[in-house]
Amino acid sequence: GAVVSQHPSWVICKSGTSVKIECRSLDFQATTMFWYRQFPKQSLMLMATSNEGSKATYEQGVEKDKFLINHASLTLSTLTVTSAHPEDSSFYICSANRQDGYTFGSGTRLTVV
């Protein structure tokens, strides 16, 4: 089936630094990818929709200058958490919708210290 590869699976960074998370569609082209965030014991919350070759669409309340999304190719979308702070610590998950449905990456656990 369709595979979405997410990297890294976990990262620890210092407060004030930036972290980039990659999401790749391995066996299909994804013109649209979705980025979610999940806090402990909570459900997934959609952050933004990443569109290949154009600007991402952010959900209400998500700071676009803090969460930079780049979707420069049909197989790669990146999420950069800029100037990370401890409150940005979370589980970040990407997703893409192929012809046979939505598939999700394995997630990235971000811890900001």
Partner 1 sequence: DAKTTQPTSMDCAEGRAANLPCNHSTISGNEYVYWYRQIHSQGPQYIIHGLKNNETNEMASLIITEDRKSSTLILPHATLRDTAVYYCIVGGSGGSNYKLTFGKGTLLTVNP
Candidates 14-22, 69-77, 81-89, 101-109: pick the segment binding partner 1 (CB under 8 A). 101-109
Residue 97 interacting with partner 1 (CB under 8 A) = yes
Give the residue, chosen from 19, 21, 36, 77, that forms a contact with partner 1 under the rule CB under 8 A.
36
> 4 or 84, CB closer to partner 1?
4
- Among residues 7, 13, 51, 80, which is the contact residue for partner 1, using CB under 8 A? 51
Cα dihedral 52/7/108/26 (nearest 10):
60
Q: Return the closest-CA partner of residue 93 out of 51, 49, 37.
A: 37
Nearest C-alpha neighbor of 74 from the set 59, 92, 54, 58: 54
For the chain, the residue count is 113
- Residue 12 is a binding residue for partner 1 (CB under 8 A): no
CB of 57 to partner 1, least distance (A): 9
> What region does 107 belong to: left with phi over 0, alpha with psi -120 to 50, or beta?
left
User: What does DSSP say about strands 32-38 and 57-58: parallel, antiparallel, or unpaired?
Assistant: unpaired
Residue ranges in contact with partner 1 by CB under 8 A: 1, 6, 31-32, 34, 36, 43-46, 49, 51, 91, 93, 95, 97-107, 109
